[in-house]
Amino acid sequence: MEFQDVVRRRRMVRRYADRPVDPAVVDRMLDNAVRAPSAGFTQGWSFLVLDRPADVGRFWSSTAPPGPPSRWLAGMRTAPVVIVPLCSKAAYLDRYAEPDKRGAGEQRWPVPYWYVDTGMASLLILQTAVDEGLGACFFGIPGDRVPALREEFGIPEEQRPVGAVTVGHRAADTGAQGSPARRPRRPTEEVVHRGAW
Ligand SMILES: Cc1cc2nc3c(=O)[nH]c(=O)nc-3n(C[C@H](O)[C@H](O)[C@H](O)COP(=O)(O)O)c2cc1C
Mutate to test the pocket of ligand 1, among 9, 12, 162 (most ligand atoms within 8 A of CB): 12
Close Cβ partners of 53 (under 8 Å, ≥ 6 residues apart): 80
Q: How far is CA 60 from CA 47, 53, 68, 82, 171, in A?
A: 17, 11, 12, 10, 19
**Computed over its alpha carbons, how large is the radius of gyration of the chain?**
18
Q: Is the pTM of this model over 0.85?
A: yes
Strands 164-168 and 81-88: antiparallel
Q: Is the CB of 142 under 6 A from ligand 1?
A: no
pLDDT tens digit string along 138-173? 999 999 999 999 999 999 999 999 999 999 999 986
pLDDT tens digit string along 29-39? 999 999 999 99
Q: Is the CB of 133 under 6 A from ligand 1?
A: no
Mutate to test the pocket of ligand 1, among 179, 182, 183, 186 (most ligand atoms within 8 A of CB): 179
